[in-house]
Structure 1
Amino acid sequence: MPPENQAIPEILRGYFWESVCLNSSDTDRTPLRIGVLANGMHLPACFAAVLDQISRCNFARIAAVAFEPSALSAETSTGAIAWSQFSRLAEQKSGEAAEIFRPIDCTRWLADVSNFTEVGDLDVLLDFRKETAPDTFDGSFARYGLWRYRYRDTERYPPGPPYFQEIYANDPCSAVTLEALTTEAPEGLILHKLVASSVMGMWYGQNQIGPVVGAADMMLCSLHRLHEKGWDAVKARSAPAPGSVNRRVNSTPGNITVAAYVAHRAAASVSARIQNSKRPIYHWRSAIRPDRSGEDLPDSVEGINEIATPVGTALADPFLLTHKGRLWLFVEQVFYHDRVGRLACAEIRSDGTPGEFTTILDTGSHLSFPFVFEDGDSVFMIPESSAAGKVWLYRAVDFPYVWKMEKMLFPYAAVDTTLHVQDGVYWFFTCLADPPLGAKMALLFRSDSLFGQWIPHEANPISSDIRYARSSGRILRSHGRLIRQAQDGALRYGHAIRFSQITKLTPSAYEEAPVSALIPEDNSGMLGIHTYDRAGGFEVFDYVQQEPIRGIAI
């Protein structure tokens, strides 16, 4: 067992992807032969995690390695003195972020591997060198090319300190890509792109966590797909790499850039402290209106009526269900005294006003997103229970007030699960929260029944974009189109809802395309809208406002 400081950080472990990929490949196929390019035997933990996964999988093995000492870093130049000092301080302040780039001795995986020059017939060459390394190698050195991570949006940013530039530009999104350089695509193919929400702050290391941790399993998934389905299947999911911004120009921030960054972030910090001195709170409310959208998708919240919120609580994640001629509203109810979510319901009268809310589910850990539905003669609910690390199915035994835990549907942390039944197939959409600090990915599963085994879809993840991954409500029908709705959490948590048309839904293929969005108007006072539902002639929404804490009885 390696020393504690040489172990793969737990923050990089994605147990779901390892369970799906590590030992599930067809062992009759020859394992992929992997080559590794590195600047030395000590690699950042995020790269060491990939080597560790390859060493434990049954579909690939490391066959060759080549070391290429890195060139003199631009950080030692006189033009980057400020950056050299600032980056060292930022690393000290980065907490868990420092773990993902902590150097790990990779001797245990590479020491007994042949030198690259002595080995031919490689399937994939992994490039773990610094991005500004010279183009000594290209896609011709392996059958399926040279694969590498790019910790930035290559269309917008040049090489530089990972995720500093996004904060400097006040960009709400921070991306990471896995790209392949091949003989047929020497400029590169994007095999996988993940978009996370930027974490603004002085210490840019916190902005590295979401994208880098979220991308930790990209390589494992792509190599697994290559071994199982072949290069054509991998290429079918790819896109041409955009013209990279100064791909080989090292953009270590200069003194003026660092000074401007520090001044801007300091001003933002002062502003935030002044705002926080007023003890504001992000308060979620739910609202209802007569259904004015019909077959259309909502494009505004005009005409909504706020649902009276019980004292000391917030109401969010509203869902409607018509059952035996009566309309019921289900919500997440958070009591501010303990900040734990419980599920509650109330009957909606014919005039759109709710009756008294009653708590219907309280497990002691946080619950939200009461996705409620009928199947056969029974009513079921799949609440969001990621705090417990699993997805559970509940059945109403005395609707709507008494619920029984019926089955564990998914043994990993996931959020906001929804169900769509079509042609006898049960499709489960969920959003993976494993690893917990990684950017969220939307997953799709199918089953032959509500209680059947979940079979992962071949297209997983169906979204790795913070603007389109996490469900904001049930699957909708709109003028014959099947619509998946998702929370856009780029600017802030729960900022908006984006609607996408599902254009292909089969056991082997999934495709969707954006069609519209529901975004708070600038003068509305709303900072976010993140759940929508309709039934029984009404529509329900939730929205968040920043309010002084004294205005909310706690």
Structure 2
Amino acid sequence: MIKKISLLLLILGIGIIAIINYRIPFFKPAGGPWSIGFGFSSTYPKCNNFKKNKIYSFEELKKQIGNTQFIADPFFLKEKDSFYLFFEHKKINDYHAVIGLLTSKDGQHYQYRGTVLKERFHLSYPQVFKYQNEFYMLPESQGANHVLLYKANKFPFGWKVCDTLLANTRLKDPTIYLSDTLKVIVGSDKNFKMHLYTADKLQGDWTLHSRPIVMEGSESRPGGRIFADKSGLLLPVQSFHKGYGSGLSVYRLKFDNKAYTVRKEKHLLLQSQQDIKEFNAGMHHLDMQKIGNQYYSVYDGNQLEHNQKIFNYKAPILLNCLDLKDWCRQNLIY
């Protein structure tokens, strides 16, 4: 009897380990430097063949200025006849990343315009947007211990803090959506939980929603601009299915007055591209907007540092537990 119980427990343990490893492997690729890609497509949330799109690699920028470790988190604005692409720029000799700028007339050939924002703390995720004829940027500013809003005095330059939207709050990749009837910010904490905040106006009183946790677990960190269509909002979310930076899924957010629902719309829209060197380790960011009758997207990805894989047992166990908890919360409570 004891042997049978032991055998059953052994089989059960092996099964659990196999499931955990299948969902989030214990061995993950060793990611290296990040680069940026961009191109047009005909539908959302689908991207064109990445092979046909253009790539602005960290190597290309390194050749120009000789001081680039990686470039990532691209956001863009199409203003008049130009594309303005803002990105996280980690320089080799700087401890903190800054916000850089690329510009283009056709969305295909970009020129580096330099650093547009530098602080005493790390900056990334430079979500730029135009609102009521003014230009704003909501970057990740965890190092300041606040969620800071910047305004351009002379777009695309002259960025200065104009408001603290959330004081004493550290959010990873805060992502904002503004309309006449809805104003929301989502962002993640260090415990793999995505929080939702609402306000009556951009520079108003941002407070936690009555249902503050949107999701948690392996897909709980925003990964780009919120896109609105007739069916609601589409939110890119980073996926940790093969470790940080390995993929990106798209979720549907629907609001009915103050209540909302969330469900996955597209699993792993972005993931590693084995035949593209710059993106063969993974992808984790997307900003797609409608330009005329087409969709223009900017995204990032990183390349393999080497062929060896890194062992990590904590993250797969933790994230699988959080995923199970999140599934129960989404399906049994709401």
- Fold shared by both chains (TM-score > 0.5): yes
CA distance in 2, matches of 1:531, 1:379: 22
CA distance in 2, matches of 1:324, 1:406: 25
2:200 is the counterpart of 1:442: no
SS at structure 2 position matched to 1:420: strand
How many Å apart are 1:520 and its aligned residue?
Answer: 2.4
Q: Which residue pairs with 1:170 in the alignment?
A: 21
How many Å apart are 1:465 and its aligned residue?
Answer: 2.2
- 1:306 alignment partner AA: I
Return the structure number with greater strand share.
Answer: 2
Evaluate the alpha carbon distance shift between residue 401 and residue 166 of structure 1 in structure 2; reply closer, same or farther with a 3 A threshold.
farther
SS at structure 1 position matched to 2:264: strand
Q: Which residue pairs with 1:385 in the alignment?
A: 141
How many Å apart are 1:399 and its aligned residue?
Answer: 0.9
2:299 is the counterpart of 1:541: yes
SS at structure 1 position matched to 2:106: coil
CA distance in 2, matches of 1:395, 1:409: 13
Deviations 1:202-241 (A, max 9, x none): xxxxxxxxxxxxxxxxxxxxxxxxxxxxxxxxxxxxxxxx
8 Å contact kept, 1:378–1:395: yes
Evaluate the alpha carbon distance shift between residue 446 and residue 292 of structure 1 in structure 2; reply closer, same or farther with a 3 A threshold.
same
- 2:36 alignment partner AA: S
SS at structure 2 position matched to 1:170: helix
Evaluate the alpha carbon distance shift between residue 336 and residue 527 of structure 1 in structure 2; reply closer, same or farther with a 3 A threshold.
same
Q: Which residue pairs with 1:362 in the alignment?
A: 118
SS at structure 2 position matched to 1:531: strand
2:172 is the counterpart of 1:423: no
CA distance in 2, matches of 1:324, 1:157: 61
CA distance in 2, matches of 1:172, 1:483: 24
Evaluate the alpha carbon distance shift between residue 456 and residue 355 of structure 1 in structure 2; reply closer, same or farther with a 3 A threshold.
same
Q: Which residue pairs with 1:471 in the alignment?
A: 222
Q: Which residue pairs with 1:350 in the alignment?
A: 106
Match 1:488 to one of 217, 235, 239: 239
Evaluate the alpha carbon distance shift between residue 168 and residue 375 of structure 1 in structure 2; reply closer, same or farther with a 3 A threshold.
closer
Q: Residues 452-467 of structure 1 correspond to what in structure 2 (within 5 A)?
A: 452-467=204-219
CA distance in 2, matches of 1:292, 1:547: 30
CA distance in 2, matches of 1:292, 1:392: 33
How many Å apart are 1:421 and its aligned residue?
Answer: 1.8
Q: Which residue pairs with 1:510 in the alignment?
A: 260
Of structures 1 and 2, the one scoring higher in RCO (CA 8 A, sep 6+) is 2
2:53 is the counterpart of 1:304: yes
SS at structure 2 position matched to 1:298: coil
Deviations 1:119-142 (A, max 9, x none): xxxxxxxxxxxxxxxxxxxxxxxx
SS at structure 2 position matched to 1:494: coil
What is the TM-score normalised by the length of structure 2? 0.75
Q: Residues 194-273 of structure 1 correspond to what in structure 2 (within 5 A)?
A: 200=26
SS at structure 1 position matched to 2:224: coil
Identity of aligned residues (%): 22
Q: Which residue pairs with 1:319 in the alignment?
A: 75
SS at structure 2 position matched to 1:356: strand
Deviations 1:89-126 (A, max 9, x none): xxxxxxxxxxxxxxxxxxxxxxxxxxxxxxxxxxxxxx
8 Å contact kept, 1:318–1:330: yes
Structure 2: segments with no counterpart, 5+ residues? 1-5, 307-334
- 2:37 alignment partner AA: A
8 Å contact kept, 2:224–2:285: yes
CA distance in 1, matches of 2:18, 2:90: 32
CA distance in 2, matches of 1:323, 1:515: 30
Deviations 1:15-36 (A, max 9, x none): xxxxxxxxxxxxxxxxxxxxxx
SS at structure 1 position matched to 2:143: helix
Evaluate the alpha carbon distance shift between residue 344 and residue 543 of structure 1 in structure 2; reply closer, same or farther with a 3 A threshold.
same
SS at structure 1 position matched to 2:214: coil
What is the TM-score normalised by the length of structure 1? 0.47
Structure 1: segments with no counterpart, 5+ residues? 1-78, 80-155, 174-197, 201-267, 549-554
How many Å apart are 1:542 and its aligned residue?
Answer: 0.4
CA distance in 2, matches of 1:521, 1:340: 28
Deviations 1:75-97 (A, max 9, x none): xxxx9xxxxxxxxxxxxxxxxxx
How many Å apart are 1:444 and its aligned residue?
Answer: 0.9
How many Å apart are 1:455 and its aligned residue?
Answer: 2.1
Q: Which residue pairs with 1:193 in the alignment?
A: none
How many Å apart are 1:534 and its aligned residue?
Answer: 2.7
Deviations 1:236-281 (A, max 9, x none): xxxxxxxxxxxxxxxxxxxxxxxxxxxxxxxx7xxx9xx9xxxx86
Deviations 1:407-434 (A, max 9, x none): 111221111111112333311111123x
8 Å contact kept, 1:297–1:478: no
CA distance in 2, matches of 1:373, 1:168: 41
SS at structure 2 position matched to 1:301: coil
Return the structure number with greater helix share.
Answer: 1
- Bigger CA radius of gyration: 1
8 Å contact kept, 1:317–1:369: yes
SS at structure 1 position matched to 2:211: coil
8 Å contact kept, 2:82–2:106: no
Deviations 1:184-213 (A, max 9, x none): xxxxxxxxxxxxxx8x5xxxxxxxxxxxxx
Q: Which residue pairs with 2:284 in the alignment?
A: 530
How many Å apart are 1:481 and its aligned residue?
Answer: 4.2
Q: Residues 133-152 of structure 1 correspond to what in structure 2 (within 5 A)?
A: none
Evaluate the alpha carbon distance shift between residue 168 and residue 376 of structure 1 in structure 2; reply closer, same or farther with a 3 A threshold.
closer
Evaluate the alpha carbon distance shift between residue 505 and residue 488 of structure 1 in structure 2; reply closer, same or farther with a 3 A threshold.
farther
8 Å contact kept, 2:188–2:221: yes
Deviations 1:299-352 (A, max 9, x none): 753422111432142110111102244220010011123352110112112261
CA distance in 1, matches of 2:101, 2:133: 20
CA distance in 2, matches of 1:302, 1:365: 36
Evaluate the alpha carbon distance shift between residue 286 and residue 339 of structure 1 in structure 2; reply closer, same or farther with a 3 A threshold.
farther
CA distance in 2, matches of 1:169, 1:476: 32
- 1:500 alignment partner AA: Y
How many Å apart are 1:394 and its aligned residue?
Answer: 0.4
Q: Which residue pairs with 2:36 in the alignment?
A: 286
How many Å apart are 1:547 and its aligned residue?
Answer: 3.8
- Compute the RMSD of aligned alpha carbons: 3.0
Count of residue pairs the alignment pairs up: 282
- 2:262 alignment partner AA: E
Match 1:520 to one of 272, 285, 291: 272
